[in-house]
A = this chain, B = another copy of it.
Protein backbone atom coordinates (compact mmCIF):
# COMPACT_ATOMS: atom_id res chain seq x y z
CA UNK A 1 0.00 0.00 0.00
CA UNK A 2 2.96 2.26 0.66
CA UNK A 3 4.96 0.78 -2.21
CA UNK A 4 5.27 1.80 -5.84
CA UNK A 5 6.99 0.20 -8.81
CA UNK A 6 7.73 -3.22 -10.22
CA UNK A 7 11.51 -3.35 -10.58
CA UNK A 8 12.65 -0.03 -9.17
CA UNK A 9 10.45 -0.12 -6.09
CA UNK A 10 10.06 2.58 -3.48
CA UNK A 11 8.58 2.07 -0.01
CA UNK A 12 7.66 5.22 1.89
CA UNK A 13 7.48 5.49 5.67
CA UNK A 14 7.74 7.92 8.56
CA UNK A 15 5.71 10.73 10.06
CA UNK A 16 5.81 14.51 10.10
CA UNK A 17 6.51 14.78 13.82
CA UNK A 18 7.84 11.26 14.41
CA UNK A 19 11.50 10.29 14.54
CA UNK A 20 12.08 10.20 10.81
CA UNK A 21 10.89 10.36 7.24
CA UNK A 22 12.32 7.60 5.09
CA UNK A 23 12.31 5.85 1.76
CA UNK A 24 13.44 2.30 1.09
CA UNK A 25 14.43 1.59 -2.51
CA UNK A 26 14.51 -1.97 -3.75
CA UNK A 27 15.72 -3.01 -7.18
CA UNK A 28 18.32 -0.28 -7.58
CA UNK A 29 21.04 -1.68 -9.86
CA UNK A 30 24.45 -2.21 -8.26
CA UNK A 31 27.42 -0.01 -9.01
CA UNK A 32 25.79 3.41 -9.22
CA UNK A 33 28.11 6.05 -7.74
CA UNK A 34 26.21 7.73 -4.93
CA UNK A 35 27.23 10.13 -2.20
CA UNK A 36 25.25 12.26 0.22
CA UNK A 37 26.29 15.43 -1.60
CA UNK A 38 24.38 14.19 -4.67
CA UNK A 39 21.13 14.84 -2.86
CA UNK A 40 21.78 18.41 -1.77
CA UNK A 41 20.66 20.33 -4.81
CA UNK A 42 17.29 18.64 -5.16
CA UNK A 43 16.64 18.60 -1.43
CA UNK A 44 17.38 22.31 -1.26
CA UNK A 45 14.81 23.01 -3.98
CA UNK A 46 12.14 21.30 -1.87
CA UNK A 47 12.96 23.11 1.38
CA UNK A 48 10.84 25.70 3.08
CA UNK A 49 12.15 28.98 4.40
CA UNK A 50 11.72 30.97 1.20
CA UNK A 51 9.04 33.59 0.56
CA UNK A 52 5.62 31.95 0.47
CA UNK A 53 6.74 28.73 2.10
CA UNK A 54 6.75 27.38 5.63
CA UNK A 55 9.18 28.62 8.24
CA UNK A 56 9.77 25.03 9.34
CA UNK A 57 13.18 24.35 7.81
CA UNK A 58 14.57 20.88 8.38
CA UNK A 59 18.25 20.19 7.83
CA UNK A 60 17.25 17.40 5.43
CA UNK A 61 20.56 15.62 5.80
CA UNK A 62 20.20 12.28 4.10
CA UNK A 63 21.51 9.24 5.96
CA UNK A 64 22.24 6.25 3.72
CA UNK A 65 21.48 3.37 6.05
CA UNK A 66 21.90 0.35 3.79
CA UNK A 67 22.61 -0.80 0.25
CA UNK A 68 25.70 1.35 -0.12
CA UNK A 69 29.36 0.36 -0.04
CA UNK A 70 32.57 2.03 -1.13
CA UNK A 71 30.64 4.99 -2.54
CA UNK A 72 28.37 2.90 -4.75
CA UNK A 73 25.02 1.17 -4.61
CA UNK A 74 25.34 -2.55 -3.94
CA UNK A 75 22.12 -3.91 -5.42
CA UNK A 76 20.71 -4.57 -1.94
CA UNK A 77 17.85 -2.37 -0.66
CA UNK A 78 18.92 1.25 -0.36
CA UNK A 79 17.52 2.86 2.75
CA UNK A 80 17.52 6.66 2.89
CA UNK A 81 16.46 8.40 6.05
CA UNK A 82 15.89 11.94 7.30
CA UNK A 83 15.52 12.79 10.95
CA UNK A 84 12.84 15.21 12.06
CA UNK A 85 14.07 17.94 14.31
CA UNK A 86 12.01 21.06 13.86
CA UNK A 87 8.69 19.84 15.18
CA UNK A 88 6.27 21.74 17.41
CA UNK A 89 3.65 19.20 18.30
CA UNK A 90 1.77 20.61 21.22
CA UNK A 91 -1.18 22.02 19.36
CA UNK A 92 -2.44 19.12 17.32
CA UNK A 93 -4.52 17.34 19.97
CA UNK A 94 -7.37 19.77 19.39
CA UNK A 95 -7.81 18.74 15.75
CA UNK A 96 -9.07 15.33 16.83
CA UNK A 97 -12.27 17.01 17.87
CA UNK A 98 -12.21 20.03 15.63
CA UNK A 99 -10.89 18.80 12.27
CA UNK A 100 -9.18 21.36 10.11
CA UNK A 101 -11.15 21.96 6.89
CA UNK A 102 -9.46 20.59 3.77
CA UNK A 103 -7.07 18.42 5.76
CA UNK A 104 -7.02 14.67 6.32
CA UNK A 105 -7.70 14.99 10.06
CA UNK A 106 -11.12 13.39 9.89
CA UNK A 107 -10.55 10.91 7.04
CA UNK A 108 -7.29 9.67 8.59
CA UNK A 109 -9.10 9.04 11.83
CA UNK A 110 -11.91 7.26 10.00
CA UNK A 111 -9.47 5.06 8.11
CA UNK A 112 -7.25 4.20 11.05
CA UNK A 113 -9.98 4.07 13.69
CA UNK A 114 -8.46 6.99 15.56
CA UNK A 115 -5.08 5.33 16.04
CA UNK A 116 -3.24 7.48 13.51
CA UNK A 117 -0.43 9.77 14.59
CA UNK A 118 -2.12 13.12 14.01
CA UNK A 119 0.79 15.41 14.91
CA UNK A 120 1.64 17.53 11.92
CA UNK A 121 -0.51 15.29 9.72
CA UNK A 122 1.51 12.21 10.69
CA UNK A 123 2.04 9.79 7.83
CA UNK A 124 -0.13 11.98 5.56
CA UNK A 125 2.22 14.94 5.74
CA UNK A 126 4.03 16.54 2.83
CA UNK A 127 7.09 16.05 5.03
CA UNK A 128 7.37 12.54 3.58
CA UNK A 129 7.94 13.87 0.08
CA UNK A 130 11.55 14.45 1.18
CA UNK A 131 11.96 10.71 0.60
CA UNK A 132 10.46 10.93 -2.87
CA UNK A 133 12.94 13.63 -3.81
CA UNK A 134 15.78 11.45 -2.52
CA UNK A 135 14.55 8.46 -4.54
CA UNK A 136 14.36 10.75 -7.55
CA UNK A 137 18.04 11.58 -7.20
CA UNK A 138 18.85 7.88 -7.43
CA UNK A 139 16.39 7.28 -10.26
CA UNK A 140 17.90 10.07 -12.35
CA UNK A 141 21.19 8.21 -12.35
CA UNK A 142 19.47 5.19 -13.87
CA UNK A 143 17.70 7.04 -16.64
CA UNK A 144 20.58 9.06 -17.97
CA UNK A 145 20.67 10.89 -20.37
CA UNK A 146 16.98 11.68 -19.86
CA UNK A 147 16.51 15.17 -18.46
CA UNK A 148 13.42 16.23 -16.54
CA UNK A 149 12.43 19.77 -15.68
CA UNK A 150 9.30 20.95 -13.86
CA UNK A 151 8.44 24.54 -13.05
CA UNK A 152 5.61 26.51 -11.53
CA UNK A 153 4.04 28.44 -14.38
CA UNK A 154 1.14 30.03 -12.56
CA UNK A 155 0.06 30.64 -8.94
CA UNK A 156 -3.29 31.75 -7.62
CA UNK A 157 -4.49 32.11 -11.20
CA UNK A 158 -1.74 34.57 -12.11
CA UNK A 159 1.35 34.31 -14.23
CA UNK A 160 3.14 36.77 -11.95
CA UNK A 161 3.88 34.30 -9.22
CA UNK A 162 5.74 36.57 -6.86
CA UNK A 163 2.94 39.09 -6.87
CA UNK A 164 0.31 36.42 -6.27
CA UNK A 165 2.26 35.02 -3.33
CA UNK A 166 2.76 38.42 -1.76
CA UNK A 167 -0.92 39.17 -2.06
CA UNK A 168 -1.86 35.87 -0.40
CA UNK A 169 0.58 36.41 2.47
CA UNK A 170 -0.93 39.82 3.01
CA UNK A 171 -4.44 38.31 3.05
CA UNK A 172 -3.37 35.61 5.51
CA UNK A 173 -4.66 33.13 2.96
CA UNK A 174 -3.09 30.51 0.67
CA UNK A 175 -2.96 29.88 -3.08
CA UNK A 176 -2.48 26.95 -5.46
CA UNK A 177 -0.67 26.76 -8.76
CA UNK A 178 -0.02 25.07 -12.08
CA UNK A 179 3.19 23.13 -12.67
CA UNK A 180 4.46 22.06 -16.05
CA UNK A 181 6.89 19.21 -16.47
CA UNK A 182 8.91 18.23 -19.53
CA UNK A 183 11.21 15.26 -19.96
CA UNK A 184 13.59 15.21 -22.90
CA UNK A 185 15.50 12.37 -24.51
CA UNK A 186 13.00 9.76 -23.34
CA UNK A 187 13.46 6.64 -25.49
CA UNK A 188 10.41 5.42 -27.44
CA UNK A 189 8.47 2.29 -26.51
CA UNK A 190 8.37 2.69 -22.72
CA UNK A 191 5.10 1.83 -21.00
CA UNK A 192 2.43 -0.72 -21.55
CA UNK A 193 -0.91 -0.80 -23.29
CA UNK A 194 -3.77 -0.47 -20.83
CA UNK A 195 -3.01 -0.73 -17.11
CA UNK A 196 0.58 0.42 -17.11
CA UNK A 197 0.32 3.16 -19.70
CA UNK A 198 2.81 5.95 -19.16
CA UNK A 199 -0.07 8.26 -18.28
CA UNK A 200 -1.37 5.70 -15.76
CA UNK A 201 1.95 5.32 -13.99
CA UNK A 202 2.86 8.99 -13.95
CA UNK A 203 -0.58 10.11 -12.78
CA UNK A 204 -0.53 7.39 -10.11
CA UNK A 205 2.63 8.79 -8.61
CA UNK A 206 1.82 12.47 -9.19
CA UNK A 207 -1.47 12.12 -7.31
CA UNK A 208 0.54 10.71 -4.41
CA UNK A 209 1.90 14.20 -3.88
CA UNK A 210 -0.34 15.92 -1.34
CA UNK A 211 -2.39 18.73 -2.87
CA UNK A 212 -2.45 17.66 -6.53
CA UNK A 213 -6.00 17.71 -7.93
CA UNK A 214 -5.59 17.51 -11.73
CA UNK A 215 -3.21 16.32 -14.42
CA UNK A 216 -3.18 16.63 -18.19
CA UNK A 217 -0.82 15.22 -20.81
CA UNK A 218 0.10 17.11 -23.97
CA UNK A 219 -2.84 19.15 -25.21
CA UNK A 220 -4.78 17.63 -22.29
CA UNK A 221 -8.12 19.24 -21.50
CA UNK A 222 -7.91 21.25 -24.71
CA UNK A 223 -7.86 17.97 -26.69
CA UNK A 224 -11.52 17.52 -25.88
CA UNK A 225 -12.32 20.59 -27.94
CA UNK A 226 -10.11 19.79 -30.92
CA UNK A 227 -10.80 18.02 -34.17
CA UNK A 228 -8.86 14.85 -34.97
CA UNK A 229 -7.35 16.60 -37.96
CA UNK A 230 -5.95 19.29 -35.65
CA UNK A 231 -4.93 17.05 -32.78
CA UNK A 232 -3.04 14.32 -34.66
CA UNK A 233 0.68 15.03 -34.64
CA UNK A 234 2.43 14.77 -38.00
CA UNK A 235 5.29 12.25 -37.90
CA UNK A 236 8.38 13.69 -39.57
CA UNK A 237 11.13 11.12 -38.99
CA UNK A 238 11.69 7.39 -38.96
CA UNK A 239 12.22 7.53 -35.19
CA UNK A 240 8.81 9.08 -34.75
CA UNK A 241 9.64 12.72 -34.21
CA UNK A 242 6.50 14.78 -34.67
CA UNK A 243 5.94 18.33 -35.90
CA UNK A 244 3.55 19.15 -33.05
CA UNK A 245 3.24 17.43 -29.67
CA UNK A 246 -0.43 17.38 -28.76
CA UNK A 247 0.08 13.81 -27.57
CA UNK A 248 2.57 14.97 -24.94
CA UNK A 249 5.06 12.35 -26.10
CA UNK A 250 2.75 9.38 -25.59
CA UNK A 251 0.79 7.25 -28.09
CA UNK A 252 -1.18 4.21 -27.06
CA UNK A 253 0.20 4.55 -23.54
CA UNK A 254 3.81 4.30 -24.80
CA UNK A 255 6.44 6.97 -25.07
CA UNK A 256 6.96 8.02 -28.69
CA UNK A 257 10.41 9.59 -28.43
CA UNK A 258 9.15 13.16 -28.35
CA UNK A 259 9.32 15.25 -25.17
CA UNK A 260 7.06 13.97 -22.43
CA UNK A 261 4.91 16.94 -21.40
CA UNK A 262 2.29 17.26 -18.72
CA UNK A 263 0.81 19.82 -16.36
CA UNK A 264 -0.73 19.46 -12.94
CA UNK A 265 -2.87 21.61 -10.69
CA UNK A 266 -2.06 22.04 -7.01
CA UNK A 267 -4.79 23.23 -4.69
CA UNK A 268 -4.14 25.99 -2.14
CA UNK A 269 -2.74 24.86 1.22
CA UNK A 270 -5.59 23.87 3.48
CA UNK A 271 -4.05 25.35 6.63
CA UNK A 272 -4.28 29.12 6.57
CA UNK A 273 -3.60 31.72 9.26
CA UNK A 274 -7.11 33.20 9.03
CA UNK A 275 -9.80 31.88 11.34
CA UNK A 276 -12.02 29.40 9.53
CA UNK A 277 -15.41 27.98 10.29
CA UNK A 278 -15.38 24.24 10.99
CA UNK A 279 -17.24 21.56 12.91
CA UNK A 280 -16.73 20.42 16.49
CA UNK A 281 -17.24 16.66 16.48
CA UNK A 282 -17.83 16.64 20.24
CA UNK A 283 -20.38 19.40 20.51
CA UNK A 284 -21.86 18.83 17.06
CA UNK A 285 -21.68 22.55 16.42
CA UNK A 286 -19.86 24.80 14.02
CA UNK A 287 -17.13 26.97 15.45
CA UNK A 288 -14.24 29.09 14.35
CA UNK A 289 -10.79 27.56 14.31
CA UNK A 290 -7.54 29.48 14.17
CA UNK A 291 -4.71 27.29 12.98
CA UNK A 292 -1.37 28.22 14.42
CA UNK A 293 1.76 26.53 13.25
CA UNK A 294 3.95 27.08 10.24
CA UNK A 295 2.43 26.49 6.85
CA UNK A 296 3.14 27.19 3.20
CA UNK A 297 1.24 30.06 1.67
CA UNK A 298 1.88 28.47 -1.70
CA UNK A 299 2.94 24.84 -1.34
CA UNK A 300 3.12 24.64 -5.14
CA UNK A 301 6.41 26.55 -4.94
CA UNK A 302 8.05 23.49 -3.39
CA UNK A 303 6.49 20.82 -5.59
CA UNK A 304 8.33 21.02 -8.96
CA UNK A 305 11.32 19.04 -7.70
CA UNK A 306 8.98 16.40 -6.28
CA UNK A 307 7.26 16.13 -9.66
CA UNK A 308 10.61 15.63 -11.35
CA UNK A 309 11.45 12.90 -8.84
CA UNK A 310 8.15 11.16 -9.51
CA UNK A 311 8.78 11.12 -13.24
CA UNK A 312 12.33 9.86 -12.72
CA UNK A 313 11.03 7.02 -10.52
CA UNK A 314 8.47 5.96 -13.13
CA UNK A 315 10.95 6.13 -16.00
CA UNK A 316 13.61 4.21 -14.05
CA UNK A 317 11.11 1.43 -13.45
CA UNK A 318 10.04 1.38 -17.11
CA UNK A 319 13.61 1.42 -18.38
CA UNK A 320 14.56 -1.57 -16.21
CA UNK A 321 11.42 -3.31 -17.44
CA UNK A 322 12.37 -2.59 -21.03
CA UNK A 323 15.83 -4.03 -20.51
CA UNK A 324 14.28 -7.25 -19.26
CA UNK A 325 12.34 -7.60 -22.50
CA UNK A 326 15.15 -6.91 -24.94
CA UNK A 327 15.17 -9.55 -27.64
Q: Contact residues of A with B, CB < 8 Å?
A: 1-4, 6-7, 9, 11-15, 18-20, 22, 24, 26-27, 29-31, 65-70, 72-77, 79, 81, 99, 101-104, 106-108, 110-113, 115-117, 121-124, 128, 154-157, 168, 171, 173-178, 188-197, 199-201, 203-205, 207-208, 210, 212-238, 240, 246-248, 251-257, 265-272, 274, 276-279, 281, 284, 286, 300, 320-321, 323-327
User: What is the CA–CA distance of A327 and B240 in the complex, to the nearest angstrom?
Assistant: 28
- Are A113's CB and B30's CB within 8 A? yes
Bound CA–CA A301/B248 (angstroms): 23
Q: A75-B111, A104-B253, A203-B204 are in contact. List 6 more A-B contacts (CB 8 A).
A: A13-B67, A102-B231, A103-B252, A111-B254, A124-B193, A230-B268
Is the beta-carbon distance between B175 and A228 smaller than 8 angstroms?
yes
Min CB distance A106 to B, Å, is: 5
B213 contacts A74, C-beta separation under 8 Å: no
CB distance from A309 to the nearest CB of B (A): 13
**Contact between B115 and A30, CB atoms less than 8 A apart:** yes
The 8 Å CB contact of A214, one of B1, B220, B324, B325, is: B220
* A191 / chain B contacts, CB cutoff of 8 Å: 111
For the complex formed, measure the closest distance between the CB of A88 and the CB atoms of chain B, giving whole angstroms: 17
Query: A24 is contacted by which of B24, B168, B215 (Cβ under 8 Å)?
Result: B24
A112 to B70 alpha-carbon distance, docked (Å): 14
B102 touches A65 (CB 8 A): no
A200 CA / B310 CA spacing, docked (Å): 13
Copies in the complex: 4
Minimum Cβ distance to chain B for residue A117 (Å): 4
Known: A204-B201, A207-B199. A107 touches B156 (CB 8 A): no
B residues less than 8 Å from A238 (CB atoms): 279, 281, 284
